[in-house]
């Protein structure tokens, strides 16, 4: 049996909000401890923190004691550069000791700059090349249908990934095979590595595009814990022969004022002084990665 089911209500929302806040802190601490020439990606990790918290602590049917459990829900981080948020969630769930977070991107670490399922307990797919993760999730969902399994597959992708043609091939495939066990989530923060998404490659009416490709679509505030949780709970039980996508409006660098909506924080080191400022803004009174 899974060990993460929470009853609905205000208490659940408060608990999930606390988990999201802790994930943000761990993201910043990890990137601060990483090599400065390859520090990681704070902006897109922070924008996904609320979604990741709700998935790992309130939605997904998983068991840290059995990371390869055949009936577990699957999660594929298509926007692989946002993996610090997932590492933080995995550590907080007990897949590995929290102290491992201090080894982010270091030689020999189980926590590399992009997800590696061969190294990190709890990861279901190796990702990093943008546009490919959703295809892997589609394959997992098809396998679940063939094997008559009840698990759900979740895949988090970025808005900028929609520049990749493979995303649209995966979207079409999921619709063709009526994968109602697949839920995609778009971290729609509006900024990619080289600038605003609407300037690099305008997405137009993204919800309508997914809809005409045969997906059930829902647009939400990607930082409203109650709305995120309620939406996932509703969609998990919705089995009508259509894949589902949540278009989550988010803020790059959410939670840290000097990072929010700033393109330069897509990939940038976090200095000791910046870490101290950020932790103060997040009202963090806990310890470091090794405490």
Q: Stretch 114-139: mean pLDDT, rounded?
A: 97
Q: Which helix (H) or strand (E) holds 158?
A: strand 153-158
Q: Is the Cα dihedral 259, 260, 264, 267 positive or negative?
A: positive
Backbone angles phi, psi at 60, to 5 degrees: -75, 140
How many other CB atoms are there within 10 angstroms of residue 199's CB atom? Answer: 10
d(CA 66, CA 104): 23
Longest dimension (CA), the chain: 53
Residue 5 has pLDDT above 50, yes or no: no
Residue 18, pLDDT score: 95
User: How does pLDDT run across 18-40, given as a tens digit for each residue?
Assistant: 999 999 999 999 999 999 888 88
Pick from 102, 125, 99: nearest CA to 114: 125
The alpha carbons of the chain give a radius of gyration, in whole angstroms, of: 18
Check: CB of residue 259 under 8 Å from CB of residue 278: yes
The average confidence (pLDDT) of the chain is 94
Opening angle at CA 15, ends 62 and 229, nearest 5: 65
Phi-psi region of 229 (alpha: psi -120 to 50; beta: other; left: phi over 0): alpha
How far apart are alpha carbons 78 and 170 in whole angstroms? 12
Would you state the pLDDT for residue 1?
37
Q: Is 75 exposed, middle or buried (0-12, 13-18, 19+ CB in 10 A)?
A: buried
pLDDT at 2: 44
Instruction: State mean pLDDT over 274-289.
Output: 93
Q: With bands split at pLDDT 50, 70 and 90, how would you rate the model's confidence at 217?
A: very high
Number of helical (H) and strand (E) elements in the chain, helices listed first: 10, 7
Judge whether 124 and 141 are in contact, CB under 8 Å.
Answer: no
* Residues 146 and 99: beta-carbon distance below 8 Å: no
* Alpha carbons 42 and 120: distance in angstroms, whole number: 20
Mean pLDDT calculated for residue range 91-112: 96
Q: Confidence class of residue 3 from pLDDT cuts 50, 70 and 90?
A: very low
Q: Would you state the pLDDT for residue 37? A: 85
In this predicted structure, the answer to whether residue 63 has a pLDDT above a threshold of 80 is yes
Task: List 288's β-bridge partners, or say none.
Answer: none
pLDDT at 49 over 90: yes
Q: Judge whether residue 102 has pLDDT over 90.
A: yes
Say if CB 26 and CB 169 are below 8 A apart. no
Give the pLDDT confidence score for residue 239 in this predicted structure.
83
Mean pLDDT confidence for 141-168: 97
Give the pLDDT confidence of 218-242 residue by residue, as tens digits: 999 999 999 999 999 999 988 889 9
Domains and CATH numbers, the chain: 10-281 (3.40.50.970)
Can you read off the two tokens belonging to residue 53? 């918290």
- The confidence score (pLDDT) of residue 9 equals 54
């Amino acid at each position: 049996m899974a060990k993460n089911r929470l009853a609905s209500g205000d208490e659940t929302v408060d608990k999930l909000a606390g988990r999201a806040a802790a994930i943000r802190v761990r993201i910043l601490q990890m990137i601060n401890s990483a090599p400065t020439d390859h520090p990681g990606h704070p902006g897109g990790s922070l924008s996904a923190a609320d979604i990741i918290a709700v998935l790992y602590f309130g939605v997904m049917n998983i068991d840290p004691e059995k990371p390869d459990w055949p009936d577990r829900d699957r999660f594929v981080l298509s926007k692989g550069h946002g993996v610090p948020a997932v590492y933080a969630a995995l550590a907080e769930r007990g897949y590995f000791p929290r102290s491992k977070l201090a080894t982010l991107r270091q030689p020999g670490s189980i926590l590399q700059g992009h997800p590696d399922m061969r190294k990190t307990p709890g990861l279901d797919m190796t990702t990093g090349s943008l546009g490919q993760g959703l295809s892997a999730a589609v394959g997992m969902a098809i396998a679940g249908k063939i094997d008559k399994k009840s698990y759900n597959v979740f895949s988090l992708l970025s808005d900028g990934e929609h520049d990749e043609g493979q995303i649209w091939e995966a979207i079409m495939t999921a619709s063709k095979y009526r994968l109602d066990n697949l839920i995609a989530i778009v971290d729609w923060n509006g900024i990619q590595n080289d600038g605003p998404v609407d300037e690099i490659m305008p997405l137009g009416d993204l919800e309508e595009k997914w809809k005409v490709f045969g997906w059930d679509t829902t647009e939400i505030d990607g930082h409203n814990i109650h709305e995120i949780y309620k939406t996932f709970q509703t969609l998990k039980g919705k089995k009508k022969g259509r894949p589902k996508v949540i278009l989550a409006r988010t803020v790059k660098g959410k939670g840290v004022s000097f990072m929010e909506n700033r393109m330069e924080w897509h990939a940038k080191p976090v200095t000791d002084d910046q870490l101290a400022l950020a932790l103060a803004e997040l009202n963090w009174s806990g310890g470091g990665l090794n405490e």
